[in-house]
Amino acid sequence: MTDEQPVVVVIDDDLSVREAIQGLLETADLRVELFASPQDYLKSKRWDVPGCIILDVRLPGSSGLDFQRELVGTGNHTPIIFLTGYADTPMTVQAMKAGAVEFLTKPYRDQALIEAVLGAIEKDRARRGSKRALADLRQRLDSLTERERQVMALTVAGQQNKQIAGTIGIRDVTVRVHRRQLMRKMGVKSVAELVRIADLLRSEGIDV
Vertex 171: Cα angle to 165 and 177 (nearest 5)? 90
CB neighbours of residue 196 within 10 Å = 13
Which among 92-100, 101-109, 143-151, 185-193 is the span making contact with another protein, rule CB under 8 A? 101-109
Binder to another protein among 4, 20, 31, 163 (CB under 8 A)? 20
Binder to another protein among 61, 129, 166, 187 (CB under 8 A)? 61
Binder to another protein among 1, 2, 27, 90 (CB under 8 A)? 27
Which among 22-30, 139-147, 165-173, 198-206 is the span making contact with another protein, rule CB under 8 A? 22-30
Which among 20-28, 46-54, 121-129, 191-199 is the span making contact with another protein, rule CB under 8 A? 20-28
Amino acid type, 62: S
- For residues 121 and 51, the answer to whether their CB atoms sit within 8 Å is yes
Q: What counts of helices (H) and strands (E) characterise the chain?
A: 9, 5
- With CB under 8 A, what is the number of residues at the site for another protein? 22
Give the pairing of strands 51-56 and 80-84. Answer: parallel
How far apart are alpha carbons 23 and 103 in whole angstroms? Answer: 20
Binder to another protein among 8, 21, 137, 182 (CB under 8 A)? 21
